[in-house]
Amino acid sequence: MNRSFLPTLVSLAAVAVCFVSYAESPENPPEAESQKLRGLHLTGGCCHDYKMQKEILTSGLGERLAIDWTVVHEPDRKKAHAHQFEMLKKDDWGKDYDFVLYNICFAKEEDEEYIEGITQAHKDGLPAVALHCTMHSHHWNTEKKEWTRFLGVSSRGHGPKKAYQVTPIAKHPILEGFPESWQTPAGELYNVQKVLEGTVVIAEGDNGIKKQPVMWVNEYGKARVFCSTIGHHNETMAEPVYLDTLARGVRWVTEKNRKE
């Protein structure tokens, strides 16, 4: 061996040892399989590119958090704005998951028993993150409005398709690192007719016509719920600011259960 290479080899070996020591140090333990969050992503319905969005959301969040995903996509086959997930008709449908991510659009669901079967799992403690048209789902043609209580607001309709400014209006762990103001690449600002008692709005959107809540948190029974009406367009959901915020939302809704 050429002795002139020995110092270089020794240096490289030292760097490798330091790297291994850092990677396996107590401050940076390897991610154990048991530490992964078990996430259920329910998606589908009318009016959105759910085929692409389920990839954007699961991969984007997966880059930020250790999540073992189960994805269930129910297309809006009848174009009637109502379709049911068969798995949600089981009494114990949520027992295998740490949280549920909803990105759905089924406005005209009228089956109160089906809706209450979904919300009961959350009332019993299953955390949830709800996005965009989830706020327009499951409550337009119902009397009991249990979905509205689960979400913490009532929303129908939206403004024109145009970008809008998002501004935090409260301090919250979900907003740590969020810009003072952020403009969506595209969008449609949802109308929120009523914010229920106990719901805390943490950010609002301004499309130049009016301001509306766009992010809020709610405690529904034993569960934490984080909601955001921001979404609709793929380019908005793919934004790092958006995905970073959702990741903090997942952390926040699930941390209560982990502490207990």
Q: Which residues contact 47 (CB under 8 A, 6 or more apart)?
A: 105, 133
The distance from CA 113 to its chain's CA centroid, rounded to whole angstroms, is 25
Which superfamily is assigned to 36-259 in CATH? Class I glutamine amidotransferase (GATase) domain (3.40.50.880)
pTM of the shown model: 0.85
Closest C-alpha among 89, 85, 102, 90 to residue 43: 102
- Residue 107: pLDDT band (50, 70, 90) is confident
Domain boundaries, the chain: 1-30, 36-259
pLDDT of residue 82: 67
Rounded to an integer, the average pLDDT of 238-250 is: 98
Of 2-11, 49-58, 60-69, 208-217, minimum mean pLDDT range: 2-11
- Residue 130: pLDDT band (50, 70, 90) is very high
- Residue 142: pLDDT band (50, 70, 90) is confident
- Residue 84: pLDDT band (50, 70, 90) is confident
Residue 76 near residue 44, CB atoms below 8 Å: yes
pLDDT of residue 14: 38
- Residue 79: pLDDT band (50, 70, 90) is low
Mean predicted lDDT score pLDDT of the chain? 87
Q: If you search the block for the tokens 């089906």, which residue do you land on? A: 114
Torsion of CA 46, 167, 55, 256, to 10 degrees: -100
pLDDT of residue 140: 80
Of 28-32, 96-100, 137-141, minimum mean pLDDT range: 28-32
Of 35-44, 92-101, 102-111, minimum mean pLDDT range: 102-111
Taking 60 as the threshold, does the pLDDT of residue 197 lie above it?
yes
> What ranges make up the beta strands (E) of the chain?
37-45, 67-73, 99-105, 128-131, 153-161, 165-168, 182-183, 188-195, 200-206, 211-220, 223-228
- Residue 25: pLDDT band (50, 70, 90) is very low
